[in-house]
Amino acid sequence: MASAALLAGCGGSDGGASSSSATTATAAAKPTTLDLTLDFAPNAVHSGLYVAQEDGSLEAAGLDLTIRVPGSSADGAKLLAAGRTDLAIMDIHDVALAQQQGAELVAVGAIVQRPLAAVLASRGIDRPRDLEGERVGVTGLPSDEAALDQIVRGDGGDPKKVRRVEIGFEAVASVLSGRVAAAIGFWNAEGVALQARRPDTSVFQLDAFGAPVYPELLLMSTPAVLAEHGDAIERLTETLAAAYEAVASGTDDQDAATIEALTAGSGDKTIDPETTAEQLRAVRPALVTADGRALAIDRAPMRAWATWEAASGITTDPPDVDTLIWSRAPGR
């Protein structure tokens, strides 16, 4: 398979104390069945999941993983709480808000290691403080407001002078039409799409303007699932880490194999290879930490994020990092 060629070519709750190596033989004899719900339709950030699925790595680790695509109103926290999924990819801000509301969620890995929020600005907006007096599109989510404030303030501007317009999730169309001078969006998706249509678009990334570097997308589970399947989930994170590290260290030529695995594994015939290749080139460095580790959740950056999360008004209090991160999650 092409995904196999890719790998070959690229050089607080606890579920128990047993190591994954001690359980591999048992797992191979009787695969553990797990369900994982995505945060969105299959795209470049999910590539490591499908590479591991298509090249047989998950099967070799004794795992029978079903990857589910969410409905339009999917809520990872609710699906986990209801026992309708074992794992879910969630935006870190949704995780923080769910924890604030009492949800028992545990992060077992990080899919993307950097903030994805950005201000996407039309021609003539050369820096974030130029947005004073301009109309800027937001979705209405608290994290959007916080990102916009941080980016403008981080460039020495006054966020209160920005005219906010609620546009839903129409960042690209709203900027292209001139309805707004800029909009909040993900630089790896909307940013790529907008620059493909209008190359002179400016993309101001959140962590370039004073926000801490934190993992935007987390792989979440619950204490109950980890108590039952802790060893299997540890094998899962190890397997996915290898796949994501292969994707991150791949070349443009190897991206075709990654996209083939994504398309074949998801069965999504609407995936556009050219657009996905552009998104993959953009996001590839963010799939690993600065020292090349995939899935890792490092505690120090998470504590900095927790402080910022409350200071920026997304949550009322800093999220409890010790409770949030699984003791056996990869990272420091």
For position 71, what pLDDT does the model report? 80
Mean pLDDT of the chain: 91
DSSP for 151-164, written as a single string: HHHHTT--GGGSEE
Q: What does the block give as tokens for 309?
A: 């999360």
Contact yes or no for 189/84 (Cβ under 8 A):
no
> 49 and 41 in contact (C-beta within 8 Å)?
no
> What are the start and end residues of each CATH 3.40.190.10 domain in the chain?
2-114+214-324, 117-208
CA distance 304 to 299: 9
Closest Cα partner for 218 from 100, 85, 105, 332? Answer: 105
Secondary-structure percent of the chain, ordered helix, strand, coil, rounded to 5: 50, 15, 35
Phi, psi of 109 (to 5 degrees): -175, 165
Q: Model pTM greater than 0.75?
A: yes
Question: Residue 63: what pLDDT?
Answer: 98
31 contacts 64 by C-beta, under 8 angstroms: yes
Backbone angles phi, psi at 3, to 5 degrees: -65, -35
User: pLDDT at position 74, please?
Assistant: 63
User: Which ranges of the chain have pLDDT less than 70?
Assistant: 1-29, 72-74
Half-sphere exposure of 142 (CA within 13 A, CB side): 15
User: How much is the pLDDT for 3?
Assistant: 46
Both structure tokens of 18: 């047993």
Q: What is the radius of gyration, based on Cα positions, of the chain?
A: 20
Summarised one tens digit per residue, pLDDT across range 139-188 is: 999 999 999 999 999 999 999 999 999 999 999 999 999 999 999 999 99
The tokens of 321 are what? 């990092």
The structure tokens 């194999």 sit at 257
Q: Computed from CA positions of residues 24, 26, 31, 32, in that sequence, does the dihedral angle turn out positive or negative? A: negative
Please measure the distance between the N-terminal and C-terminal CA atoms of the chain and give it in whole angstroms.
Answer: 34
CATH class of the region 117-208: alpha beta
Instruction: Please give the pLDDT value at position 125.
Output: 96
Alpha-carbon gap, residue 238 to 302, rounded angstroms:
20
Instruction: Return the CATH number of the domain spanning residue range 2-114+214-324.
Output: 3.40.190.10
Residue with tokens 């545990």: 106
Helix residue spans in the chain (DSSP H): 2-9, 20-29, 47-54, 57-60, 76-81, 92-100, 142-154, 171-177, 190-197, 223-248, 252-266, 273-283, 299-311, 321-324
Coil vs helix vs strand at 52: helix
* Six-digit token string for 131: 């947005």
Length of the chain, in residues: 332
pLDDT of residue 5: 46
The per-residue pLDDT for 252 is 84
